[in-house]
A and B are shown apart, each in its own frame.
Chain A
Amino acid sequence: MLNNNEKAHHNGQSSRLPRKRFYRARAHSNPLSDSHFPIPISPSEVDYAQHFPHFFPPEMCDQDKCDAPIPKVRFADIGCGFGGLLVSLSTLFPDALMIGMELRDKVSEYVKERILALRASNPGQYENISVVRTNSMKYIPNYFEKGQLSKMFFLFPDPHFKEKNHRRRVISIQLLDEYAYALEVGGIIYTITDVEELGDWMRTCLENHPLFEAIPEEELEADPVVELLTSATEEGQKVARNGGQTFKAIFRRIAFKE
């Protein structure tokens, strides 16, 4: 994919892929702190047309008469980092809108530039991915309606080893309530980490949550997305380079039964 760099040359400076070294950021960000960036009041306030202009042709925005249903984001990559997964998923599911959510300002800036550059150098492609800078632990319901998403990704999240900081973990029983709210019944939540302790934690949370069930192994083998969890992400590649182990927990959202 890095070869796109060369291809991009003839499109001029702006379309060149951004370079990571200019987007150095802290590895961690405190999800508990009060956010000072703008947050949409409700999902209907989010201007998705701005994120996916290709999927929102102007005639659709102009006239309410247009019968076509408004396309909705289907996949969310929570803590998308530098956006490796989004870029790979984009071509695998060209018709599904997907959004990355990243708390670190510079990193989300990088992903934005990266997507714009990819769009410019590959006309017609990568129109279905975008990124927002937000705290997904606080504001998931501000972006997605109930049951809107079919896939959610939590790849290599911050491990927060200290017990005191466990409440900063992005997967917890309480936050899973909100993820279950955003996911449609049958939707899938993908988690992966290279930290065994966190892997156990995420699996235990999902197993104990009444709205999720584990997906059988054979079904996972047929799912093309599973392979991307390790191969497409920057963190995954790093782990593979160092010959590390990864721990996945992939669960399906099920209906509530009492």
Chain B
Amino acid sequence: MEEVQLGEEDIDKATEVAPALISVHPFEKSVVVALGSELRVFDLEGDCSISLSDDSGGPGHSDSIRAICFDASGRLFASAGDDKLVKIWMADSWCCIRIVCADKRVSAVAISHDGSFVVFADKFGVVWVVSLDGDGESQALCAKKPMPILGHYCSIITTLKFSPDGRFVASADRDFKIRVTIFPRDPLKGAHEIQSFCLGHTDFVSCLAFVCPSDYPLGFLLSGSGDSTVRLWDFSSGCLLATCEVGNMALESNETDKGNHPAVTDISSSADGALIVVSIQSFHGVMLLNCNFSAKSLSVAKVVSMKGSYVPTSLCVSSLAKHLWTVMGASNQPSSGTTQLARVRVCSISRQDGEDDLLVLEDNDTPGGEKLLSKLQGSSDVTEIESMLVSTTSALNSAIHNLLTKKQYSSEKREFRKKNRNDRKQKQ
């Protein structure tokens, strides 16, 4: 057949991997790792691992989990992913109280500050809302169904975050856009009033974090991107306040990588912005940023390297800001046993002279100790995990590339693709 895809690198389904995610309860009562379709929960208060009970009848997640989060009060937890399901859990009993079916794969999820709404975004750029209030039988059917509230025109939404005061919801997409929308009192009717667009990134935006320093009650927005910068925004005007180039630092301390624009993969911060941590593609460790809010400057304060080819895929700091939790792992990786393996590392946060510092904890000093690690990692055999993780970095890099980086076609290739459009094929 002539229509064989000449010179087209099709994305191999098998190479599509999802990075492991970590989320810690706002008051460090529990910590959750999502790896592939599996949720692993460890109760830090009770010092025991938790097996999830799914009362609502449906199965657990059947495909890669792409987004997890706690709500601000720590009452609820939400998970969502490629199986087009959003599951909402009670964060104390770990019962699933709600399963929401989405039309498309879900790429981001967030819970409103009062815990009454869950918003999630799909791969087509639409953000949906479901109400959690009045979960009785009297509830109208329409309130049970997710309602679209806003849309990024046909662009994968990478992350959703609520502002510290809960008035705004920020959404970022692979088209370098950050949209800050007023979250209305009745979001089921849609969130139509756009507060601002934060424009300045030159590649996909991968992560967002709101910070609220005590002198600036309105707060600021931080974003990390595929252009290997972290940027500070006045989100009420969309004004870019500071840009911090982190790619060069990552390359220096690492060896020069083929992709000379390592993407910022995750960002996490303490609520007051005194601690800002970012993880970077292919970078062994994390970077600590220093933000001077009055001078509107953002710079790299410290590079915290971690041994054993450890490139964190996800970061989380609780509201207590006692520990930085990090995880490295990916779904669909070869493993020796039946359980998928991930690596969890924890740093303790110490505050000196108003500046936060990080200290990488040894496994023995990790809160929860070996019990926690064997639950969240899938094994406590560090050497086994680390040998397995060597291949993970490159798999993750290509996954990010396939998912978020825009394909560049030469003009001949573009012509070729036009000739092979689907509507033409049928005529032949």
**Do A and B bind?**
yes
Instruction: Please name the residue on chain B nearest to A139 by beta carbon.
Output: B175
A34 touches B200 (CB 8 A): no
B190 touches A42 (CB 8 A): no
Number of interface residues of A (CB under 8 A): 27
Does B13 sit at the interface, judged by CB under 8 A? Answer: no
| Range, interface on chain B | 20 to 34
Does A228 sit at the interface, judged by CB under 8 A? Answer: no
A258 touches B184 (CB 8 A): yes
Chain A residues lying within 8 Å of B202, measured Cβ to Cβ, are 41
Q: Which of A41, A141, A146, A173 makes the CB contact (< 8 A) with B190? A: A173
A34 touches B407 (CB 8 A): yes
Chain B residues lying within 8 Å of A141, measured Cβ to Cβ, are 177, 197, 199
**A175 with B153, Cβ < 8 A, contacts A34-B407, A138-B175 known:** yes
A41 touches B199 (CB 8 A): yes
Q: How far is the CA of A211 from the CA of B126 in the complex (A)?
A: 19
Does B305 sit at the interface, judged by CB under 8 A? Answer: no
Q: How far is the CA of A211 from the CA of B182 in the complex (A)?
A: 13
B238 touches A32 (CB 8 A): no
Q: Which of B193, B201, B240, B409 makes the CB contact (< 8 A) with A36? A: B409
Q: How far is the CA of A174 from the CA of B153 in the complex (A)?
A: 8
Q: Which of B148, B185, B199 makes the CB contact (< 8 A) with A142? A: B199
A146 touches B184 (CB 8 A): no
A42 touches B175 (CB 8 A): no
Does B154 sit at the interface, judged by CB under 8 A? Answer: yes
A177 touches B194 (CB 8 A): yes
Q: How far is the CA of A138 from the CA of B154 in the complex (A)?
A: 8
Ordered by A's residue number, 22 sampled pairs between the chains whose C-beta atoms are within 8 Å are A31-B153, A32-B154, A34-B406, A36-B408, A36-B409, A41-B176, A42-B199, A138-B155, A138-B175, A141-B199, A172-B151, A173-B192, A174-B126, A174-B150, A175-B151, A175-B153, A176-B192, A177-B151, A178-B194, A180-B192, A209-B192, A211-B192
Residues of A within 8 A of B (CB): 31-32, 34, 36, 41-43, 137-138, 141-142, 146, 167, 172-178, 180-181, 209-211, 256, 258
Q: What are the 6 closest A-B residue pairs judged by CB atoms, nearest first?
A: A174-B151, A42-B199, A141-B197, A181-B194, A256-B193, A177-B192
Residues of B within 8 A of A (CB): 124, 126, 148, 150-151, 153-155, 175-177, 181-182, 184-186, 189-190, 192-194, 196-197, 199-202, 238, 240, 406-409, 414
- Give 8 A-B pairs besides A32-B154, A173-B190 with Cβ atoms closer than 8 angstroms: A34-B407, A41-B201, A138-B154, A142-B199, A146-B238, A174-B150, A180-B192, A180-B194
